[in-house]
Amino acid sequence: MPKESQISYTFLAVVGLAAGLYPLVFYYDNNFTLINSWSHFTYFAGLFIVLPILAMLIAGVFAKKWLEHPIVQRLILFVNAFAFLNFLQLCLRADISKKWTLIVLLVAAAIAFFLWKHIKKIVVLQFVLATIALVGFIPQLYNHLMVSNAWKTLPDAISEVRLVETPNIYVIQPDGYVNPSELKKGYYDIDNSDFENFLSAEGFKTYTNFRSNYGST
């Protein structure tokens, strides 16, 4: 880093913020309907934002006498890049694997070793990515906030009904049904001809050799 640049605690906090801001917005943009509660936001903001900022500031306290040293500046960039890439790994894979963490470690080390003089440019680039992701996420957030809650207003006094016997309410949720051709073989080995004949008589169309596109089934 050029001599005129001074490493301050504010700068360290900004470096920590840059490491997690884009991954946080990226994660919310792609998974908002699954994590749109305040408890989720508190958890992810703590993980992606607060944790890297604290890590940077704590490291700065212990290394405050050597913040201008090239080795320390390389370490600052290494922590930033390592956190940034690992957060992206978590966003893309929903997991942290040893293999990818090792790759991230090597890439972050290379970035820190060769590009440490450009740390400000890298931080700016991370903020640019966060801004681009935020521009795409804001419409989704706006639509969510503008959803009407009128449907929650009951049109009658059904909430005052007192049920005498339980259980008395059943929810039937149609989901997947094993393909007829699959039921005849494998782990199933089931004769489902009665149901197949019923479907045929009622005008339903069934297709052989199809399977669910969900990994869990």
Q: pLDDT for 71-128, tens place per residue?
A: 888 889 999 999 999 999 999 888 888 899 999 999 999 999 999 889 999 999 999 9
Report pLDDT for 6.
57
CB atoms within 10 A of CB 177: 12
Residues 2-24 as b/e (b if ≥16 CB within 10 A, e otherwise) read: eeeeebeeebbbbbbbbbbbbbb
pLDDT score, position 3: 44
* pLDDT-above-70 percentage for the chain: 91
- 201: tokens are 């008589």
Asked if 133 and 25 touch (Cβ cutoff 8 Å), the reply is yes
Q: CA-to-CA distance for 69 and 147, rounded, in angstroms?
A: 53
CA dist 20 and 161 (Å) reads 50
* Cα–Cα dist 130/118, whole Å: 19
> Does residue 177 contact residue 186 with C-beta atoms inside 8 Å?
no
Is the pLDDT reported for residue 193 higher than 50? yes
Q: Which residues contact 172 (CB under 8 A, 6 or more apart)?
A: none
In the DSSP assignment, the letter for residue 156 is S
CB 42 within 8 A of CB 14: no
**Closest of 49, 46, 60, 45 to residue 11, by C-alpha:** 60
pTM: 0.67
Please tell me the number of Cα atoms within 13 Å of 44 on its side-chain side: 23
Angle at which helices 70-93 and 9-31 pack, to 10 degrees? 10
The predicted pLDDT at position 154 comes to 81
d(CA 99, CA 89): 11
Q: With bands split at pLDDT 50, 70 and 90, how would you rate the model's confidence at 174?
A: low
Q: What's the confidence (pLDDT) of residue 4?
A: 41
